[in-house]
Amino acid sequence: MAVDFFEPPEHRLIVYGSLAPGEVNNFLLAGLEGDWERCVIRGHMGRHKGFKVFKYDPQGDAYQVWLFSSSLLPQKFRELDDFEGEEYQRVIIPAQVAERVILAYVYQGKSVD
């Protein structure tokens, strides 16, 4: 499996909840030019205060989620950080996209019920 760490993680965002295509808050990313593709991440998925949360764990279950790639993401992160609030932290994790592994940001829940 190829490892692709050349594109900066700042240009990639793993999306698993309301920001995903077709979901209620996708409008926050819909205006950005970029590409969507499926990817797999490992960890624990749950809910906290009614919202979906993910916590990275390399030994955890595999989840198929979305990867959004855009060179414009760095300009959007402040707005996304404010939107996600104190319950979530933006961290860099590995994700598998087809036959390659990349690094990308994800909003990780601080608590998983």
Residue-level pLDDT, tens digit, the chain, 113 residues: 666 666 779 999 999 989 999 999 999 999 899 999 999 999 999 988 888 899 999 999 999 999 999 999 999 999 999 999 998 999 999 999 998 999 999 999 877 65
The neighbouring-strand residues paired with 69 are: 12, 35
**pLDDT reported for residue 27:** 94
**pLDDT reported for residue 5:** 61
Determine the Cα–Cα distance for residues 30 and 80; give it in Å rounded to an integer: 13
Domains, the chain, ordered by start: 2-109 (3.10.490.10)
Q: Give this prediction's pTM.
A: 0.91
